[in-house]
Chain A
Amino acid sequence: MKKIVGIVVALIVVVALGAAGWMYLGRNPMAFAGGSTVALQDYQASSVTGVPAQLAKADLVTRGEYLTHAADCQACHSAPGSAPFTGGFALTTPFGTIYSTNITPDKQTGIGNYTDAQFLAVMHRGIRADGEHLYPAMPYASYTYMTDGDVLAIKVYLFTLAPQHAPARKDQLSWPFNHRSLLTLWDVVFNPDTRFRPNTGESPQWNRGAYLAETMGHCGECHTPRNIAFALDNHSKFAGAVTAGWRAYNITSDRDSGIGGWSDQDLYQYLSTGHANGHGGAAGPMGEASDDSLSYLVPNDVHALVTYLRSVPAEKSDLPRTVTAPAPASYKQGVVAGFDPRGEKIFAGACASCHDWTGVSPVTGYATLTGVRAVNDPNATNVAQAVIHGVNRQTDAGKIFMPAFGQGLSDDDIAAVANYVTARFGAKGAHLTSQDVANLRKQAPQQSNSRETPNG
């Protein structure tokens, strides 16, 4: 008997260690490339960190501003209706709600008293000035790869902002997650606390892309699935995940589920403008990433991102191949039997005038649904979110606008129209229920900042 218990315990220990090891091995986002890496100071090829060559001679504030955009601090550290960088943005997690904080240089409520060493600690190790651990909702496990010089350039830029008095909002987390001390263990396992090491087997452009994607842009924080400890599982790197109620798509090089079928030009256009012809546009959190961060990158940096993304191994996920042919011109054709006819009625009244029955918009390419990943997602997550929250982006190319229907349509209506849209224009119709829509609303409580802004 004792022997059996001993064997069972040993097995449990082996499995637990194996699982822990597996999770631990998944923490390096650049491990997929293999090859050998060197410390940054030993890398001779070219500068892959910091600002691009165009800005090399710029003053520190300008360089810090570029890096602040590249690291996209603004998207999470700004709440709708408040001044940028004053925090208060709600990040919904399965454990409760965490609020971002004020990173203007206000001495009472912001980071005005942070020393360089304290700022480095918060960015590299997730430890704030009072010694408490941050939750990894702050992507310090990505920022940890950032050079000291880049971190401090960001600090210099943030310290030029006008100080704003904005006290932190209290997090609402369930037990035991409301105990920050637990994060000490998480950090030991999942935060490598190491700086970026260029890969000598890859091109300088690839290394620049890796630095921008992994360190600055922290793409994986949304696009990589998480393990049971809520750390990124890079075994499925960039294979897509649902974050805060929106689906971050598979951006591996898989031809069907990922972006393997996109041309370099498509990727370049999408990353630099938040829209690619034939593939649709960014909305929700990716719309913010585009408008607050990616659209500020110089062309060389966007090309570097494309090079890096292309190298990520294909990972097939549940997304089917995107339908690239328009739907029939008549509402009578192209309908899948068995769908709630209410979806068609809502589409006729609220959607068809801009999106057309074919899905090819007569108004603007931004409203074309044909070929768009969201309508080809059988979960219809982002279709439902776009209907609820609308789209309201200000870009260099002008305003991109879709009204928010979250207040005007019921959960039943939104489910019906999302199911209809995915069936008509996508590969496979969704089967959302009103309860699904209610859950999606809860997961993205703060993105309804698409106020109705009629022209004039």
Chain B
Amino acid sequence: MFTLTINGQAREVDVSADMPLLWVLRDHLNLVGTKYGCGVAQCGVCTVHVGGKPVRSCQLAVGDVGTRAVVTIEGVGATPNGARVQQAWIEAAVPQCGYCQAGQIMSATALLDGNPHPDDADIDAAMAGNLCRCGTYIRIRRAIKNAAAGGA
């Protein structure tokens, strides 16, 4: 039995310690906004925040979460940068098919949390692990800059 703090709430789950956090979120807590992509931490769609850091939840065993707070796409809008990023995403109409976008928004928010005014190179370094098969990278970059500008 594990007690996780997810989006500010304590949630209890009765799963084995080696179950990936992504499974816990989707199958046990019905938080299905976080998607499954490659399963080997190479595409970024399953990104959530753990202890404030963007982490690929398909590779993070629930037993390794410890006391670190987990924020998912369902809860990130409640944070100041998360709200700004989501607003910027809507204004720039970033998504095309949308499958990778939860992960993109989580990585973008973590970037702004650590670096309020990223330049292009900063954005590339932080976002390179989040793939988008539709190629929305140009709009992702613009939206991150708009969100940063909105944050002042």
A and B are partners in one complex rather than unrelated chains: yes
Of B17, B23, B114, the residue contacting A456 (CB under 8 A) is B23
A452: nearest residue on chain B (CB-CB)?
B40
Complex interface residues of chain B between 1 and 48 (CB less than 8 A to chain A)? 17-18, 20, 22-23, 36, 38-42, 44, 47
Complex interface residues of chain B between 85 and 130 (CB less than 8 A to chain A)? 114-115, 121-122, 124-126, 128-129
Output the least CB separation between B102 and chain A (Å): 15
Please report the number of residue pairs spanning A and B whose Cβ atoms sit closer than 8 angstroms: 70
Stretch at the interface among B55-63, B74-82, B132-140, B144-152: B55-63
A362: nearest residue on chain B (CB-CB)?
B53
B53: nearest residue on chain A (CB-CB)?
A362
B71 contacts which chain A residues (CB < 8 A)? none
Please determine whether A348 and B128 come into contact, CB atoms closer than 8 angstroms. yes
Please determine whether B64 and A363 come into contact, CB atoms closer than 8 angstroms. yes
Stretch at the interface among A153-161, A305-313, A398-406: A398-406
Given A398-B17, A452-B40, A455-B20: A363 touches B128 (CB 8 Å cut-off): no
A405: nearest residue on chain B (CB-CB)?
B42
A131: Cβ under 8 A from any B Cβ: no
B50: Cβ under 8 A from any A Cβ: yes
Please determine whether B18 and A399 come into contact, CB atoms closer than 8 angstroms. yes
B68: nearest residue on chain A (CB-CB)?
A362
Output the least CB separation between A171 and chain B (Å): 36
Output the least CB separation between B5 and chain A (Å): 16
Please determine whether B129 and A403 come into contact, CB atoms closer than 8 angstroms. no
Please determine whether A352 and B129 come into contact, CB atoms closer than 8 angstroms. yes
Please determine whether A348 and B58 come into contact, CB atoms closer than 8 angstroms. no
Of B22, B44, B114, B126, the residue contacting A455 (CB under 8 A) is B22
Please determine whether A454 and B17 come into contact, CB atoms closer than 8 angstroms. no
Output the least CB separation between A158 and chain B (Å): 32
Please give the number of chain A residues whose Cβ is less than 8 angstroms from any Cβ of chain B in the complex: 25
A350-367 contact mask (Cβ, 8 Å, vs B): 1 or 0: 101110110000111000
Interface residues on B, range: 20 to 34
Please determine whether A364 and B61 come into contact, CB atoms closer than 8 angstroms. yes
Please determine whether B51 and A362 come into contact, CB atoms closer than 8 angstroms. yes
A349: Cβ under 8 A from any B Cβ: yes
B61 contacts which chain A residues (CB < 8 A)? 364, 398
A339: Cβ under 8 A from any B Cβ: no
B47: nearest residue on chain A (CB-CB)?
A353
Please determine whether A353 and B41 come into contact, CB atoms closer than 8 angstroms. yes
Q: How far is the CA of A330 from the CA of B119 in the complex (A)?
A: 13
B64: nearest residue on chain A (CB-CB)?
A364
Output the least CB separation between A342 and chain B (Å): 12
Please determine whether A353 and B20 come into contact, CB atoms closer than 8 angstroms. no
Q: How far is the CA of A454 from the CA of B18 in the complex (A)?
A: 14
Of B42, B53, B124, the residue contacting A403 (CB under 8 A) is B42
Of A332, A349, A401, A454, the residue contacting B129 (CB under 8 A) is A349
Given A362-B50, A364-B60, A456-B23: A354 touches B41 (CB 8 Å cut-off): yes
Output the least CB separation between B110 and chain A (Å): 11
A128: Cβ under 8 A from any B Cβ: no
New A-B contacts (4) at CB < 8 Å, excluding given A329-B114, A455-B20: A348-B128, A352-B128, A352-B129, A454-B38
* Residues in B lying within 8 Å of A, measured CB to CB: 17-18, 20, 22-23, 36, 38-42, 44, 47, 50-51, 53-56, 58-61, 63-64, 114-115, 121-122, 124-126, 128-129
Supply 8 A–B pairs (Cβ within 8 Å), ascending by A. Answer: A329-B114, A331-B125, A350-B42, A354-B41, A356-B53, A363-B64, A398-B18, A403-B41
